[in-house]
Structure formats: structure tokens, C-alpha cells
Structure 1
Amino acid sequence: MPRTTFRGSAVPLDVTDDDSVTAAAELIAEREGRLNVLVDNAGITGDTPRNNPPPWTPPSPEL
């Protein structure tokens, strides 16, 4: 079986800042020519429902 090598890189950006997103896209285009895979790993900080969800309640048997 032929061996395949994959290469990856990270480009930090602020998804709330249009200029940051544009700069990252331009850097990727310049460096790689195209984008094959994107992993969205945006973090959320602070006390939000997402970070502090209510206790889990199992679904009712009727569902």
C-alpha cells in the first residue's frame, strides 16, 4: 500500500474581526494556493449558557 503524507498548518484569527478573517484567507491563499480543510475551533469565554449549561434532563419516553 502506498504511503501518503499529509501536512497541516495553523493560522490564528479573530472570527469577530472581518480584517482578521480577510488577512488569514489571504495568507492561506498565498502560502497554500487553496484551502482543502477548515477546522473551526472558535472558543467562547465567560459565563454563558454554552459554558454553563443547565443540568441534563433525559428525554421523556413519549419521544
Structure 2
Amino acid sequence: MPIAHNPPYSHLFHPPPTVILPITPPSPNSHQAQPIILPVGTRNPRQTSSRPSPPPS
């Protein structure tokens, strides 16, 4: 039942972690962004800054 409330959250969890995996190697700061992206995923202010970094993706 609690999963029903996790559908929107799970969706955000999938994209952030995927982008962090490739960003983690080139950006050491990304390592800390991994756990921070979860809550920051809703703000999307820092994610947008991290997205331009990996344009090859």
C-alpha cells in the first residue's frame, strides 16, 4: 500500500541515480550529490546544473 505513494518518488529516484553514476567518476563532488539529489530532486535547481555537465549522455 505504501508503494502507491512511492510511484512519483520512485520515478525521480530512477533518473537521478542513473545520472549520478556517470557523473560520479568525473566529479568527486557528485559522490555527495548522490544522497543530496534524493531530496534535491524535487528542487531540480542543482540537478539542472549537474545535467549540463554530462552533455554526451
What TM-score do the two structures reach when normalised by structure 2?
A: 0.31
Q: Which has the higher helix share?
A: 2
Larger radius of gyration: 1
Which gives a bigger RCO, structure 1 or 2 (Cα 8 Å, sep 6+)? Answer: 2
What TM-score do the two structures reach when normalised by structure 1?
A: 0.28
